Amino acid sequence: EEQTKLVRSLIQAEVHQDALFRLGAATQTLLQSAVEETIWQSSYPRRPLAEIADAEWGAFRDGDWIETKDQSETGIRLLQLADIGTGTFLDQSSRFISDKTFDQLRCTEVLPGDLLIARMAEPIGRTCLIPELAGRAIAAVDCCIARIDLSQQSRLFWLLALNTPSWTAEVLKLSAGSTRVRISRSNLESIKVPCPSHEEQEHIVEALWSIQSSVSWIQSRKNQAHLLSSRILMGGWPDAR
């Protein structure tokens, strides 16, 4: 009887995960289609991506070259490519450096609200928004740190624009490498992107963000469903004796 209950629970969890996966895929497709049509297929003037950066902070910056010997058990978190999802911060990394190493290597601190752009690994160019973290953080060298000029730009607009097939296609045009394709920061900054006014960006975000919120909600439910399945499996089969 206990085995039957476990099997039923697993089946229900798998059906739930499958439904969420299909719903998530359909919603993500809807969002990308809307962003493509509203932003990338528009007549907005195109300018180099570097122009959206905060002038006081300067141009975009690469993450830091951190070797294994530079890492520590605790301290300042090292964000990596695994943390960058398509429009989502995945929160996967668990590597750190000390305050002393940060100062010695003159590392660049990543702040909440920065955009982190993946310079390699599929989909190349994917972008996430850094949330409030438990402590200070830096980024690995294959991550590009973009600090937006908020007086002229909407960070949520760029979070939408830099997670589309059109953006990925533009990034691939300037990428290089036979086995591990990557794009340099200078080439990334040079890509010309549609640049509506700040006011127009806000209107676009208002119109599209409800779909993005649905995508994020579905992703969180998928994670919960996966965790439930794992817990059921970890419970194991009851002793038949």
pLDDT (tens digit, 9 = 90+) per residue, 157-212? 999 999 999 999 999 999 998 788 999 999 999 999 999 999 999 999 988 877 76
pLDDT in tens, 107-129: 999 999 999 999 998 999 999 99
42: Cβ–Cβ under 8 A, 6 or more apart, which residues?
Answer: 194, 196
Report the alpha-carbon distance of residue 183 to residue 118 in Å, rounded: 9
pLDDT of 240 above 50 = no
Report the alpha-carbon distance of residue 128 to residue 83 in Å, rounded: 8
Q: Are 215 and 35 in contact (CB under 8 A)?
A: no
